[in-house]
Amino acid sequence: MVLVSGGLAIFAYASGHAEFARYLQLPHVIGANEVVVFCAAMCGACLGFLWFNAYPAQVFMGDVGALALGAALGTVAVIVRQEIVLVIMGGLFVVEALSVMLQVGSYKTRHKRIFLMAPIHHHFEQKGWKETQVVVRFWIITMILVLVGLSSLKIR
């Protein structure tokens, strides 16, 4: 969340600035600069949460918080007109959701599981990876995906 909302903040800033938007061939969105503040607040809130959620976790988010943050990211992407970039930057979110859909679909149709456990991060834990290994490797993957998404700024 921290990395993806930070990446979307950069897109929101560029979309809200007429000259940057023209130079980067982005749609100029009047008022998108306020979205930067919202993205920065999400980054800060998630960093504060991460402080207490680091191993061993003292606080857990749950579905209500995770779904609200996902909806906020989706809303920001729609506002700044960068929905495809959100799919790229949030690729890990997409893979996690797809792993659950595939597991449920496979089990209902074939009565066989694809993964040892879904979502996929639990599959890796079942394979013997430590929880901290999964988290750090997913951070690395997300950093790479955010950089790929940000590189699309100039590829257009």
The per-residue pLDDT string of the chain (156 residues; one tens digit each, 9 = 90 and over) reads 999 999 999 999 999 999 999 999 999 999 999 999 999 999 999 999 999 988 888 999 988 999 999 999 999 999 999 999 999 999 999 999 999 999 999 999 999 999 999 999 999 999 999 999 999 999 999 999 999 999 998 886
Is 112 among the domain residues?
A: yes
Domain of residue 47, residue span = 1-82
Residue identified by tokens 């990211």 is 73
Domains of the chain: total: 2
The span from the CA of 153 to the CA of 59, in Å, is 36
Cα distance between residue 135 and residue 108, in whole Å: 29
Q: What is the CA radius of gyration of the chain?
A: 17
Is there a single domain that holds both residue 54 and residue 100?
no
Please tell me the pTM assigned to this model: 0.90
Assess if residue 155 is contained within a domain: no
Residues 2 and 74 in one domain: yes
Answer with the one of 50, 82, 114 that is the final residue of a domain.
Answer: 82
